[in-house]
Each structure stands twice: as C-alpha cells, then as structure tokens.
Structure 1
Amino acid sequence: MSTPESTVQQHTELKRSCINCGAELKYKPGTTSVTCEYCGHKEEITVDPNGFEELELSLYLKEMGAQSHSEKISMLHCKNCGANQHIEENYKSLHCVYCSMPLIVEDMYTEDWILPGAVLPFQIDQKQSFQTFKKWVSGLWWAPNNLKKASLDPQFTKGLYLPYWTFDAQLRATYTGQRGVYYYETQRYKDSKGNSRTRQVRKTRWYPASGRISGFIDDTLIKASQQKTGRIPKKIARWNLQKLQPFNSSFLRGFITEKYTIPLQEGHLESKEEARRIADRWCRRDIGGDTQRVSSIDMKLSEETFKHILLPVYVSSYRYNGKEYNFFVNGETGTISGSRPYSFWKIFFAVVFAILLIVTIVFIAQASEGASY
C-alpha cells in the first residue's frame, strides 16, 4: 500500500541514448529490451521484481496523495479532436495520432500526471501492424483509391499507449429478491383447421429469497481518456491483463503515450457502477433456481485500490472528403477494426455496369426467342 511520502524516482528513469552511436534507443515489441535501429546495440529493461503497486484509493480521492507517485510530463494538445499526447522529444512525426492534424511544438506544455503503475508492452511491432492494416484495406470493397494509397505508407500507422484505470475492492452485500422455478401445464387449443390440439406452456413459481454475498473484485478496467473522435472500438479494447508489467518508462520508447482526460474520481464512479452489476450477477447466482428477480442490493466496497495502466494499440488515421476515419490494431493480439469510407464513383459505375449487363442479357434472350420463330 502506498503512502503520500513515497517518491517517484523508483518508477522513472532518465532518457538514454545508444552508448555506441548516440542514436535513440527504442523498445522492441515482444521483448524486454530497447534496441538501437542504427548499430543494433541492445539493452535489457529492468523490471521491478516486487511487481505492481496498488495505490490506496481513499488517499487520492481526498487529495492527500495527489502529489504522490506523480511527475511532470510534456504534453501536446490537439485543438482539432482534443487528444492529449505525450511525444518523446526526438519523435519525428508531430501529428495527432487520431486525426493527423499537425501539432505545434511551441504549444508544448507540462503538467502533473499520476504515474502509471503498470504497462502492457506492445507484443507486435509496427511492421506487423502495418501489414495487418494493409491486408484489411486490400479486402475492402468499394474503398476509394486514395485509401489504398494511404495504406501503402507506414507513416500512417502509429503506436499508441492508451490510459486506463483499474480498480480492486472487497465487495460485500445483502440482498432481497425472488427465486423462480419453471413448471409446465398442458393447454388445449384449436389449430387453423379447427382441430383440437394440446401444447406445453411454461410457467414460473416464485419464492422469496434473501442472503449475503462477498468476494474480491480484481482489475475492473475503466477507460481513462475520451475525445470527440478516435474512440476505441470494443472489439479492439480487449487485452490480457495477466501480461501487465510493472511500469518502466523504457517500454514507452518510440511510441506515443496518451494522457488520461477522465479524472480518477469519475473513473471511480464508473467502477462502482460496474461493481453493482457484478453484485447483481453474484446475487442471482446465489439465489439459484431457473430465473431470478433482485429487488434490492445493499452493497459496500472496502480496501479499494487503483492503478493507472497503459495498454497498446496501433492507430491509422485518414481523411477523406473532409471526414476523419480511424483504423485500430490491438498492439497485443493484432485484432483490427475501424470505420471506412466508400467510393461514390466506384459504386455508381458498378450499378451502371450491373444495369447494362442486365439489359444486355434481356436483349440477347429476346433476340434468341425471335430467332427461334
């Protein structure tokens, strides 16, 4: 458990360059090392053997620990879509990862953030992600040619660490409700021809139920950022949290990190709603029977802790006819999803071609019939 007196030095490290050539060291996905792209030098990332540190939630909600486990971070704010992004000083592409609008380096500012407690490092590299994106685009019907051209340029695919909150808690609750047990009655009826028939009709007997439940809620995952555009599809937002590593800033090298914009207090409120849904499931399981009704739940959470974690995704942004489109690749699993534009002219000419083809077939068929006479 953390205390407000804890320091941040144990979590962070100074930027390091290659000891051989001075170039930037970047994290190599799927490993625990940073490498130099120029001379091949490799350095191992030291992972904290003590594992994750869960922070006591009450201290932060009461602002007692607001400055504990925090540090200054340089940020660039996208005025177009609202994304707040941390970009390494030597990162060459100063464009928003979501909407591709230019980011002005002179607008860079610093602010405090709660240090991540854990990170799920990228498991696939940018090349693999780009090939996945390219294959997906090539399979799209009616896609504009400009989109296919964009998919040939790797600079459109960027690695991004997304911020999430995770919450742990002991849950205890008492409940009242009803247990439903199915039974069947034979019912007579007449079919459409007036014949007498029978059928089994299911009914439910209800019995009063009440009880207590308790258990540990582990790693309730709550999104910690939100913009006008670039919302991560549910299909993509699935990671194996068992692969989380204790935070080390070396895992971020060569990637963009998004700062949370949903405050801890708001994330906590959402986690309580999720805890209530979990409590409802536990109550229904405890009630048993064939079906259940839950009338009331008196829920209490204790020993609440949280982590700020970073999860990997690749983003490809594209503008077509003034509209923004995003394509996402899960940086752990390679799952892809995204919105796509349609080419009006491709669809138009396809429809015209189909009409001409039908007219031609009808004309040939009529001509064949006339010739047969």
Structure 2
Amino acid sequence: MNETVKKTELKKPCVNCGAELKYKPGTINISCEYCGHEESIKIDENGFEELELYPYLQEMGAQKHSEEISMLHCKNCGANQHVEENYKSLHCVYCSMPLVIEDAYKEDWILPGAVLPFQIEKQKSFLIFQKWVARLWWAPNKLKKAALDPQFTKGLYLPYWTFDAQLSASYTGQRGEYYYETQRYRDSNGKTQTRQVRKTRWYPASGHVSGFVDDTLIKASQQRSGRIPNKIAHWNLKKLQPFSSSFLSGFVTEKYTIPLKEGHLHSKDVAKNIATRWCRQDIGGDTQRISSMNMKLAEETFKHILLPVYVSAYRYKGKEYNFYINGENGQISGTRPYSFWKIFFAVIFGLIIIGLIVLLTQG
C-alpha cells in the first residue's frame, strides 16, 4: 500500500486509552468518546488548492491528487460509501440494508480539496427531528413515540464539485421600455370606459460583460433511491476547511458517482445562466431580449469538496420513513405518515360547517 492510501485510511488512537479519536462537530478537534481526551486538527495554512481543470479532463496529472480508499457498495440502493471508523456492524446510510464487510474493495478518487465539517452533533439532530414531528399537521398522535434507532442515524459527507472561472460574454439584443396608452372600450352595460394599456418600445442593444464566477456548486453523486432533498442542500461555503481526513473520522463519506467531466458540463449550464443574467442587467430598461450571446470561460479550476448531512429513518406501524438534516445549519426534510382519522373528521367537520352556512343563507 502506498503512502497516499495511508493518508486517508489511518486511524488515530487516543494517547490515554487507545480508543479511536473521532471528529467533534462544531470544533476543529478530534476527541475520545471514552475518556474525553481531545486533540486539535492540523489545518493547512496554505488554504484550499484550486486544481487546473483541463489536465484532469484530459486525464493528465490525475494521479497527482488521487489516492485509494476502501469502498462498500450497497446492492440494494447503489450507494458507494467509505467509512472512517473501525468496521463492526455496518448498514447502508440511505436504505439501512446490511453491508458485507468482506465485499470492501479499493478504488481511486480525486482527493477532496476542502471539507465543511459537521457543525451539529448527532444528539442535536434527534432534537431537531422531535421538534419537526411536533409541528406536523395531520400526523398521527402516536408519531411522537416513533422508534428512532441511533444506529441507523449516520453523519454523511456528500461529494460535490465546485468550479471557478473568469467569464466573459458578448451579446446583441434589444432593450424594452414600457409606455402606456389610453384606450376606450364599452363595458357590459354599453357604457364607454377608458383604460391604460401597457406597450413596449424596443431599442437595439449590444455589449460585453465579464467577471469572476466563484464556487459553482455541482452535485457529484446520485443513487437510485435516498436522494438528498433540495430543501436542505444549501451550505455556507465560507465555512469550508482545507481537507484533513481527521474531519471524516466517525462519519460516512460518499464517493462521487458523477464524473468530473459531466459535472463540468453542468457547471457550464450554470455559467450560461449567470452570463444571461449579467447581459440583461447590462442592457437595462424595463425588459430585455437577447438574440445572440457568445460566452467564454477562462482560467477554469475545480475542487472536490465534502458537505455534511445526517441521514436516518424512523419506523411507525412497521413502515420506514426517511428524514435528512443539514449537518451545518440544521435544516430538516423528510417523509411522514398521515392520520386517516384526523383527515376524515376534518372533512366531515368542514362539510357540516358548509351545510350550516347554506341553511342559514336559505333561512
């Protein structure tokens, strides 16, 4: 095994009791859950390293920032996950199906350039879940007693690509300015009325816009099931830290399944939308038309980054429901059961009220 493999796979023991040190959310420390010993994570003073894009797209220099990691593949939902802890009993972070330790295999990945460490602990995620349940309309009363098994709640680092570039675009189009004319018309009673009708004067426009596009965020993984809801997929990237494997200790890390080349194509679509917005702002007026736009990207760089989320499931009346909590800001999204009887009686009550209103109106 080469040296780069050891960089990620190495587990750091506690100097007091020998247990594995794990990352403590909301800090830059790793700690021992048995004796409480803590050590600071060494942060690279040079910050993040933005990698030149095209050498990687052309498969040149890919080994410079790559390494091997051990992976476990879920045969049920297709998720690929790396676990930075001693293998005991493992279940898929998405679907809770058991993972076979003997099926672990080695695979190359582009080393993450940055990580946004977990800011909230697992116990707080349980409290967020309980508050969420308490606010649910039409939920069964007994849902508050839902069985939330801690072993099926996992802190997961999600892989994303970020892209930076100098953007420039030339455009031709038209600037529209509104004006109003008074029109006469006859109403339903045959009387003559007036109204203001908005119209647009169009003027030719052309120009050039440019600027720096920073940290275009592109999802780098996708499974057949258990996709992270868009509602919680928002992180403050200013909290990114230079990558250290110590931040992964005690958590699951998902390997990217959307390759860099495909992620780059998605980022170009985002850049095109940004260029269009800049062109419209440059044209000005009340409304705009863009007939042609020539966009160019230069000095393109990228990072592979990891972002935190808690993934779990709870059981109610024998059925499993999933929920997800953003590991940085605590935003929650999930599936939930509905109470048939609450909805049924609400409908009946509504019909009774409508009936009473009709009777009173007729009376």
CA distance in 1, matches of 2:157, 2:349: 51
Return closer, same or farther for 1:192/1:350 CA change in 2, 3 Å cut-off. closer
Structure 2 counterpart of 1:19: 15
Picking from 62, 71, 74, the partner of 1:75 is: 71
Q: Where does 1:17-166 land on structure 2 (aligned, <5 Å)? A: 17-143=13-139, 148-166=144-162
Picking from 294, 297, 314, the partner of 2:293 is: 297
Return closer, same or farther for 1:89/1:245 CA change in 2, 3 Å cut-off. closer
Q: Where does 1:123-272 land on structure 2 (aligned, <5 Å)? A: 123-143=119-139, 148-272=144-268
Q: Partner letter of residue 152 of structure 2?
A: F
Deviation at 1:194, TM superposition (A): 1.8
CA distance in 2, matches of 1:356, 1:300: 62
Q: Partner letter of residue 10 of structure 2?
A: L
Structure 2 counterpart of 1:367: none
Deviation at 1:12, TM superposition (A): 4.9
Deviation digits for residues 95-128 of structure 1 (CA, Å, limit 9, x no counterpart): 1111111111111111000000000001111111
Picking from 304, 311, 330, the partner of 1:308 is: 304
Unaligned runs of 5+ in 2: 356-363
Deviation at 1:132, TM superposition (A): 0.4
Deviation digits for residues 133-181 of structure 1 (CA, Å, limit 9, x no counterpart): 1221233345468865445433332111000000000111111111000
Q: Any idea what SS the aligned residue of 1:235 has?
A: helix
TM-score normalized with structure 2 length: 0.90
CA distance in 2, matches of 1:276, 1:358: 52
Unaligned runs of 5+ in 1: 1-6, 363-373
CA distance in 2, matches of 1:103, 1:321: 25
Task: Tell me if 1:351 matches 2:344.
Answer: yes
TM-score normalized with structure 1 length: 0.87
Q: Quick check: 91-100 or 208-217, which moved more?
A: 91-100
Deviation at 1:240, TM superposition (A): 0.5
Whether the 8 Å contact between 2:14 and 2:32 is mirrored in structure 1 is yes
Structure 1 counterpart of 2:361: none
Q: Any idea what SS the aligned residue of 2:282 has?
A: helix
Return closer, same or farther for 1:357/1:218 CA change in 2, 3 Å cut-off. closer
CA distance in 1, matches of 2:4, 2:150: 36
Deviation at 1:88, TM superposition (A): 2.6
Whether the 8 Å contact between 2:179 and 2:201 is mirrored in structure 1 is yes
Structure 2 counterpart of 1:365: none
Return closer, same or farther for 1:14/1:288 CA change in 2, 3 Å cut-off. same
Deviation at 1:28, TM superposition (A): 0.7
Q: Any idea what SS the aligned residue of 2:261 has?
A: helix
Deviation digits for residues 283-318 of structure 1 (CA, Å, limit 9, x no counterpart): 001111110011111111110000000000111134
Deviation at 1:340, TM superposition (A): 2.0
Q: Partner letter of residue 172 of structure 1?
A: S
Structure 1 counterpart of 2:360: none
CA distance in 2, matches of 1:358, 1:321: 30
> Over the residues paired in the alignment, what is the CA RMSD in angstroms?
2.5
Structure 1 counterpart of 2:358: none
Structure 2 counterpart of 1:337: 333
Return closer, same or farther for 1:245/1:295 CA change in 2, 3 Å cut-off. same
Deviation at 1:193, TM superposition (A): 1.9
Q: Any idea what SS the aligned residue of 1:71 has?
A: strand
Return closer, same or farther for 1:99/1:322 CA change in 2, 3 Å cut-off. farther
Whether the 8 Å contact between 2:24 and 2:31 is mirrored in structure 1 is yes
Structure 2 counterpart of 1:368: none
